[in-house]
């Protein structure tokens, strides 16, 4: 995934131009796909960053945030069905404790922070039978804020230090 992420960051200009042809629906679909992976990170933020420089960052952030929210249903459904395979039981048990204490705050906070742990949040929310609309609502708020910040950073309106380091030649 690291190699794929670096490749996406360094995508030649003409290939990014091909992605531009799909516009906001393409950003939405790519965001669904990059967030539908469970416990395997996908480089969706890099695409949002790149598209934020080429399109209106407000609509990029909204399209990507909505797509990311829908993509997170994969973890929720895995937990809801009881079919999730959890390798890090200790971290998962901690997540279940957080979800039981304050589910909405846990969902919105971890949806906002770029991290691979959000899949465990979705699995825990599903396993605890949090209503799907509630999970999606709080995930949407966090995801849209994160994607807006990423898109606006791509447009050059502010800097994200860790991303700046990755993109510098």
Tell me the per-residue pLDDT of 103-115, one tens digit each, with 9 for 90 and over: 899 999 999 988 7
The pTM for the full model equals 0.78
Lookup: tokens for 12: 């030649």
Greatest alpha-carbon span in the chain: 49
**What single string gives the DSSP state of each residue in 56-104?**
-HHHHHHHHHHHHHHHTHHHHHHHHHT----S-HHHHHHHHHHHHHHHH
The span from the CA of 169 to the CA of 159, in Å, is: 16
The span from the CA of 92 to the CA of 121, in Å, is: 8
Tell me the per-residue pLDDT of 35-86, one tens digit each, with 9 for 90 and over: 877 656 666 787 888 888 889 999 999 999 999 999 889 889 888 887 666 7
Domain ranges of the chain: 2-167
DSSP 42: -
């Amino acid at each position: 995934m690291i190699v794929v992420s670096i490749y996406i960051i360094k995508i030649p200009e003409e290939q990014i131009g091909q992605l531009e042809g799909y516009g906001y629906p393409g950003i939405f679909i790519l965001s669904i796909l990059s967030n539908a992976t469970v416990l395997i990170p996908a480089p969706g933020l890099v695409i949002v960053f790149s598209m934020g420089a080429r399109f209106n960052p407000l609509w990029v952030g909204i399209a990507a945030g909505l797509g990311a929210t829908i993509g997170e249903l994969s973890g929720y459904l895995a937990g809801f069905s009881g079919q999730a395979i959890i390798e890090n039981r200790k971290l998962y048990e901690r997540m279940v404790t957080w979800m039981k204490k304050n589910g909405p705050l846990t969902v919105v906070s971890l949806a906002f922070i770029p991290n691979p742990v959000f899949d465990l949040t979705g699995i825990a929310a599903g396993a605890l039978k949090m209503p799907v609309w509630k999970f999606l609502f709080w995930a949407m708020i966090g995801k849209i804020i994160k994607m807006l910040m990423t898109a606006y950073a791509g447009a050059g309106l502010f800097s994200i230090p860790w991303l700046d380091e990755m993109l510098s030649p």
